[in-house]
Structure 1
């Protein structure tokens, strides 16, 4: 049974598992630059971290962990001025193979249909949030976070 551990985000020392590195070696994630997330609140950032615990193995080096998934969200959140106030959750496993294959193959396959329609979902959710009088980022801010043009966040066909 895995253990859960919380620690300050700025104390997190992660290295990528070699099997994961080999598995994603052909991928080209092209994020030209990190999106500016300074407009996000501490509560929003902590909510993102709380909903994304990181599956890891313990490393032989004290305080260091071996990541079993790719986590670009961590790098993005660390770019926020108040990242030092945030905590991250780790799920510490004893073996790597089933976790890596689940997160690198099965989860993306299950999410693929949803990701195809993400810009239209953002448009709809943004409009619904505004009608519910929720505090929401602008469509321009959403498009900046998603690194797509503002015009791509529009209603379906």
Structure 2
């Protein structure tokens, strides 16, 4: 590995990036535009699905936010399956991962609602419920992605025999 080249300002320079080459200076909107659009459209789809789930299964004030917990766990499970499929099974189009992985699943799962739910529980005099929700969501999300990825890998390996 080569050490970074010092500049006249004393800041190190990444040896893998030659800023004299115009394409390396900044990303082209021609290259990035479709990716940004795919993430935006996917995010709208995912966020709409999450909102529909919150309307279908509302939570009472001060109650345990089961809907958000299950949405986040289900989204993490789908992320586990999706990542195995696009990395181990088939080469997807370059916009599939930004659209579905970052957009749809990123919009469907929700850290912001999770954080607001915890804040509301604590501010509403339910700190233990807030702490339980914090831990339960973390454990459920991690378990869901791990179990789904493991099961998908095993299923793929079994089908390939």
The TM-score bracket by the shorter chain reads: under 0.3
1 or 2, which has the higher helix percentage?
2
- The structure having more radius of gyration, on CA atoms, is 2
1 or 2, which has the higher strand percentage?
1
Q: TM-score, normalised by structure 1?
A: 0.25
